[in-house]
Each structure stands twice: as structure tokens, then as C-alpha cells.
Amino acid sequence: MHCVRQIADRVFWVGANERRLHLFENLFPIPQGVSYNSYLLLEEQTVLFDTVDRAVGDQFLANVAHVLQGRALDYLIVNHMEPDHCAIIERLVSLYPGLKLVCTAKAAQMLAQFFTFDPAPHLHIVKEGDKLKVGATELTFVMAPMVHWPEVMVTFDSLRGILYAADAFGTFGALGGNIFNDELDIRGEWLGEYRRYYTNIVGKYGVPVRNLLKKAAGLSIKMICPLHGPIWRNDFAYILDKYAHWAAYEPEEQGTLVVYASMYGNLENAANIFAQRLAEAGAPRVTVRDVSSTDVSYLVAESFRYSSLALFAPSYNAGLYPAMQHFLLDLKALGLSNRTVALVEGGSWAMSAGKEMRAILETMKGISIVDSCSIMSSLHENSLGELMRVKDSLFAAIAPADTTAIAK
């Protein structure tokens, strides 16, 4: 049975929600599910914007058939060829043999890579600024390579001011009837998932995202239709500001993420004391996370959110505790930059964690390591002094000059 919603004059959401999948990309936990958005425009010709993941294909095809009411499907705009959005193309082509596939040249290559049908008779290749007139609607194609794959474009409907934004401005989280941003608690309930989605999926591609933001600034946008999550129909400045920070690798706010690895609780104890004393000194928004029990995608998102990091890790096999190593290599791969960092290593004989953490962080742009110390086995009065020195160094680096005097 169909499940659709009209979102604008002659435009319908025909996507589907997925709540049974545990890991998006078989990698990222999605406890609130995910939506695969697709949109259908009924003009003199019919135009579909992207498809959905294979898992929800039957629901999607029922939605499309319902809105078409027996009409043929004339155009499929392929903004993005990742399988969570393109998986149903071959089924659509077999259902609607006259379908034109409007896409970039790179997407056309990928069509042949992903599917077994011959896309050539269906192709309508477009490039930057090309337009397609369908009835009263004029669609303009804007290239957006590496947001988040090389073939990506976005499509602008100038009649309605709708930007079909591909992965941009999307989020994890299934839709539950309320489909527009102003029907939902974006700032309270959704922002964390917007951040986690962006930083982990698109985080590496800050420069291409900034290029797209510049292009989008020249469009008269009244609605943003992403491929995942709520549709934006107002409050654009809020999400654009978040994107501007994330894409520039600038923190959203002053704060410290304390991430510890602890095999037997000793470094956990040190991390808790460090965090408490840092907060007592006046540092804002100090947050403590266990690297072993917190999925790395949440740690990545919080690293993008805050201005500084304090990392506690044991030495392990003459190297670095694996969970911390994974976290730091993920931050490096995603391009995190411009952060202030304090390091604390632990061990009972040959210390190696600090050197390994430093080796990774020093290859990252704009990372300032303000201080570090070692804790032999567990925290004692002598090592507490060193830990408090590291805390003071971090506080001095992150606090406004006129508040450093209250550091304890």
C-alpha cells in the first residue's frame, strides 16, 4: 500500500523509511532508522528525483505508481548514484521502458557498472547549468562533485524554488509522518544526527561542500529536498551555519571532548578527575566518552562539534590501544583540523601510547598539542600533579585570557 505526502504544488514525497537496518553502509549505527527520500513531479511530463535503497524498493514502487495514477514515467533525475539512492533504477526502466535517465557523464559510467541493462538508449547527459523544461517547470542542473561521490549533481526547480540537494542537508533518522523541518524539533532531537551523518559520511569533503554552498547562495531557494531526513522549508540559515562550520573544520562551540581508553579503570579514573577539574576551572561543555563503548561515529561527530580534545590511552603491544588508534585514524581520514589537544598515556612498563597518538595527530592540519603526561599503572599524588599541569595547559589554551586566573 502506498505511503506518500504532497510537499508542494504537483510535487510528492514518494520515498520510504527503513527502521530494521542496524548499520548504515554496514558501518554506522542508526538507532532511529533512516529515510530514503525520492520526489515525484507531475507536469506535462512526469519527473522522478532519485530512487531508494533496494530494501524499500517495493514500498517505493507502490508510491510511484499511486502518484502516477496510470501515467508513464518520463524522466528520472539521477542526482546521486550511490546504491541507497540508485538501486531501483533497473526496475524502473523495465516498468517504464521510455524512461529518460538525466544524469552526469560520470553517473552514466556508473549506471553501466552497477546494472546489467544497456543505459545508452535512456541517457540524457547534463553538465553544469544545463536546463530541462517540463511543462511550466524549468529544472537547472548544478554539479556537486564529491558531495559525496564524484558523479553528484543537485537540481533546482526555479518555479517552486526547490533544491533537490542529493546527500547535502540530510541526516540519519526515519521520518514519522512529520516531514518538514518546522514540524520537528531539529535543534533538540535531530541536530546530533545531522552532525553525525555529515561528519562521518561527507566530512572528508569540506572543500567540495564549501563550493556547493557558494553555488547555492546564488539560488532563490524556498525548499531544500535532501535524500535523507526532513525537508527544509524555512530556517535555512540555521543548517547553512552548521554546514559552514563543519565544512571549514571549525568547531561549532567552545568545549572539550575527553575520550579515554581504559582496560581496568585506572585511566578512566584519571579522565574523570581531569574532566572534573577542567570544568571546575571554568571550561565550558566538558564531555567524557569511553572509546571502547561509544561507537566511533559519535566520537567523530563530537570532535567536529567541540574546540578541544583530551585523549587518554594505554600503551598496547608496544603501540596504541586499538580502539583509540581506530578513532584517531578515522578523525585523520575525515580531515578534522584546527583543534587543541591534550594527551595522557598510560602503561605499566614501556610507554608507547603517547608517541603513537602524537604521530597520528601531527599529520593532521591545525592540530595543536598543548601538553602531555604519562601515568604509570594508576594515578598517584605525584602523577596527579602532572595531570593537573596538562589540565592547566589545556585550560590556558582554550579559555579567554581574562578567565585563566581562576584555573585551579
Query: According to the binding rule CB under 6 A, does residue 80 interact with ligand FEO?
Result: yes
Choose between 35 and 315: whose C-beta lies nearer to ligand FEO: 35
Of residues 158 through 177, those in contact with ligand FEO by CB under 6 A are: 167
* Region from 82-90, 131-139, 351-359, 364-372 binding ligand FEO, contact rule CB under 6 A: 82-90
What is the Cα–Cα distance from 283 to 369, expressed in whole angstroms? 17
Q: Rounded to the nearest whole angstrom, what is the least distance from the CB of residue 154 to ligand FEO in the complex? A: 13
**Nearer of residues 330 and 345 to ligand FEO, judged by Cβ:** 330
Binding status of residue 196 toward ligand FEO by CB under 6 A = no
The answer to the question of residue 153 lying near ligand FEO (CB under 6 A) is no
CB of 226 to ligand FEO, least distance (A): 9
- Nearer of residues 85 and 391 to ligand FEO, judged by Cβ: 85
Q: How near is the Cβ of 285 to ligand FEO at its closest, in Å?
A: 30
Of the candidate residues 100, 122, 148, 277, the single one contacting ligand FEO (CB under 6 A): 148
Exposure of 338 in the CB half-sphere (CA atoms within 13 A): 14
Closest approach of ligand FEO to the CB of residue 83, in Å: 8
Site for ligand FEO (CB under 6 A): which residue of 16, 60, 75, 82? Answer: 82
Indicate which single residue of 50, 84, 157, 356 sits in contact with ligand FEO (rule: CB under 6 A). 84
Residue of 14, 56, 111, 227 interacting with ligand FEO (CB under 6 A): 227
Nearest distance, CB of residue 296 and ligand FEO, angstroms: 19
8 binds ligand FEO (CB under 6 A): no
3-state secondary structure the chain: CCCCEEEECCEEECCEEECCCCEECCCEECCCCEEECCEEEECCCEEEECCCCHHHHHHHHHHHHHHHCCCCCCEEECCCCCHHHHCCHHHHHHHCCCCEEEECHHHHHHHHHHCCCCCHHHEEECCCCCEEEECCEEEEEEECCCCCCCCCEEEEECCCCEEECCCCCCCCECCECECEHHHCCHHHHHHHHHHHHHHHHHHHHHHHHHHHHHHHHCCCCCEEECCCCCEECCCHHHHHHHHHHHHHCCCCEEEEEEEECCCCCHHHHHHHHHHHHHHHCCCCCEEEEECCCCCHHHHHHHHHHEEEEEEEEEEECCEECHHHHHHHHHHHHCCCCCEEEEEEEEECCCCCHHHHHHHHHCCCCCEEEEEEEEEECCCCHHHHHHHHHHHHHHHHHHCCHHHHHHCC
Stretch that binds ligand FEO, among 78-86, 97-105, 171-179, 301-309 (CB under 6 A): 78-86
Minimum distance between the CB of residue 388 and ligand FEO, rounded to whole angstroms? 45
Q: How far is the CB of 82 from ligand FEO (least distance, A)?
A: 4
Cβ proximity to ligand FEO: between 148 and 196 the closer is: 148
Residue 50 within binding range of ligand FEO, rule CB under 6 A: no
For residue 7, the minimal CB distance to ligand FEO (Å) is 19
Give contact residues for ligand FEO (rule: CB under 6 A): 80, 82, 84-85, 148-149, 167, 227-228
